[in-house]
Amino acid sequence: MGSELFRELARMVVALADIQELRSFALPYPGLAQRALDRTVMHCLDIGETPPRSLPELWEWCRTRSADDPLFAVPASLVTPGTTLVHPVGRMPTRSCLEVASHGQDGGVVAHARALLGDLEARCGTGERYRKCRRFLARHPVVDQRDRFGPGWSKDVWSRVKDLYGPLPESLLVDDKFLRCPSCGLPALPRNGAVPVPRPPAIAADIWCEGEECLRGNPPELIREPDQARILRRSLRTFLVLPHRTEEAAREALDRAGIDQEALLGPLPAYRLRSTGIGTVDIQVYDRLQPALLATHLSDSTPSADRVLVVVPDELAGRDGYRNAFTDALPALLRHRLVLTTPVNLVPDLGRFRREEKGDA
Ligand SMILES: [Zn+2]
């Protein structure tokens, strides 16, 4: 019950964050928020907790009470303990919130990102044109005036993708300025609500960025005329822009090892590797903070090849418990077919499979 409530609240947080005047929460509340509030009240009465009195209080709960709080009691095998839905510094949906909101039949935010990319792919007509557009989106989560005159700007690409951008929301502005993380390129906000004085190296804890995981040697970039800038939809910022760095690192590793790849049709960053000597091998690239939710999502469909290497960033896979949580959440039958790896481990892992295959023969 608590897990279901946690997911419903994740969806509420995502929906409310998309409504501009996030902090006003005036009555009457949006229907979805009122329903989530009612469900929380019922749940609290069931477990003998004092219920929240208002939507602002419920929002605060989403910021301070984590998945493993007795209120939700989400098992650690599903969501990493300590995960909150609203970021304590950014006061925006956390990446985990978007992942939790995507868990379930309709696929939530991830499905939204895929639908947008699917439409783009259809509009582009050719795979090559689509990949060009997708690369542009991944490299330009925010487009400002300077970009339009910069190198590599393509009018043709922009005309196809500009509908996927919108104005910068007020909630991402500080003193009428917009901050961009130099590492992931996504929106950033200072902890104390003031534009930080540039004094590298900035302490990561001073600043929140949508990527959440960035190490910052440099202060955020400042966009002084935010009304001239456009920002990519949230679902694509999280599920297209973030994994793109890992996709490029994985492809570089394969290129260096002389392993050819062929892009697979469809919106996903997925490739089939050529002549690996171990049957058909695909790679799929993700950047997800919740390994068990990723594994559950992958188990929903039949693997696209004999082996699918699921590439995630090295920093994530190296984290305590990440690999185990991923593997434990896979059905036993799929564990040898869906293998978690990273850009650094990708080529060595392929070598290991080849040796195993030879050993078996
Ligand atoms: Zn960042």
Expressed in angstroms and rounded, the spacing between residue 70 Cα and the centre of ligand 1 is 31
- Residues 17, 9 contacting (CB under 8 angstroms): no
Expressed in angstroms and rounded, the spacing between residue 181 Cα and the centre of ligand 1 is 5
Q: And the tokens for 258? A: 């002389």
Expressed in angstroms and rounded, the spacing between residue 209 Cα and the centre of ligand 1 is 5
The pLDDT value given to residue 225: 86
Expressed in angstroms and rounded, the spacing between residue 185 Cα and the centre of ligand 1 is 6
Q: Which residues surround ligand 1, an ion (CB under 5 A)?
A: 181, 183-184, 209, 211, 214
The pLDDT value given to residue 202: 44
Expressed in angstroms and rounded, the spacing between residue 171 Cα and the centre of ligand 1 is 17
Distance CA 243, CA 241 (A): 6
End-to-end CA distance of the chain: 49
Expressed in angstroms and rounded, the spacing between residue 183 Cα and the centre of ligand 1 is 5
What are the per-10-residue average pLDDT scores of the chain (361 residues)?
A: 93 84 70 93 94 93 95 95 90 93 88 94 90 93 84 88 92 87 90 56 65 81 88 95 96 96 85 86 96 94 91 95 96 94 96 84 55
Expressed in angstroms and rounded, the spacing between residue 207 Cα and the centre of ligand 1 is 9
- Residues 181, 218 contacting (CB under 8 angstroms): no
Expressed in angstroms and rounded, the spacing between residue 182 Cα and the centre of ligand 1 is 7
Peptide bond into 220 cis (omega under 30): no
Q: And the tokens for 257? A: 């090892």
CA nearest to 316, candidates 80, 113, 64, 3: 80
| Phi, then psi, of 233 in degrees rounded to 5 | -55, 145
SS (H, E, C) 172-218: HEECCEEEECCCCCCEEEECCCCCCCCCCCCCHHHEEECCCCCCCCC
Expressed in angstroms and rounded, the spacing between residue 120 Cα and the centre of ligand 1 is 26
Expressed in angstroms and rounded, the spacing between residue 322 Cα and the centre of ligand 1 is 21
Could you tell me which residues are beta bridge partners of residue 223? 178
Render the burial of 315-327: b for 16+ CB within 10 Å, e for the rest.
ebbebeebbebbb
Residue 307's contacts (CB-CB under 8 Å, 6 or more residues apart) are: 278, 279, 280, 281, 282, 336, 337, 339, 353
Give the side-chain half-sphere CA count within 13 A for 188: 29
Expressed in angstroms and rounded, the spacing between residue 280 Cα and the centre of ligand 1 is 35
**Which helix (DSSP H) or strand (DSSP E) does residue 270 occupy?**
strand 270-273
Expressed in angstroms and rounded, the spacing between residue 359 Cα and the centre of ligand 1 is 44
SS3 content of the chain, % helix, strand, coil (to 5): 45, 15, 40
The pLDDT value given to residue 21: 57
The pLDDT value given to residue 195: 57
The pLDDT value given to residue 253: 97
Expressed in angstroms and rounded, the spacing between residue 276 Cα and the centre of ligand 1 is 35
| Phi, then psi, of 273 in degrees rounded to 5 | -85, 145
Distance CA 160, CA 156 (A): 7
CA nearest to 347, candidates 246, 257, 283, 244: 257
Expressed in angstroms and rounded, the spacing between residue 238 Cα and the centre of ligand 1 is 11
- Residues 195, 174 contacting (CB under 8 angstroms): yes
Expressed in angstroms and rounded, the spacing between residue 285 Cα and the centre of ligand 1 is 19
pTM: 0.91
Expressed in angstroms and rounded, the spacing between residue 228 Cα and the centre of ligand 1 is 22
Expressed in angstroms and rounded, the spacing between residue 212 Cα and the centre of ligand 1 is 6
Residue 342's contacts (CB-CB under 8 Å, 6 or more residues apart) are: 246, 311, 312, 313, 314, 316, 317, 318
Distance CA 249, CA 237 (A): 18
Distance CA 305, CA 326 (A): 19
Expressed in angstroms and rounded, the spacing between residue 279 Cα and the centre of ligand 1 is 38
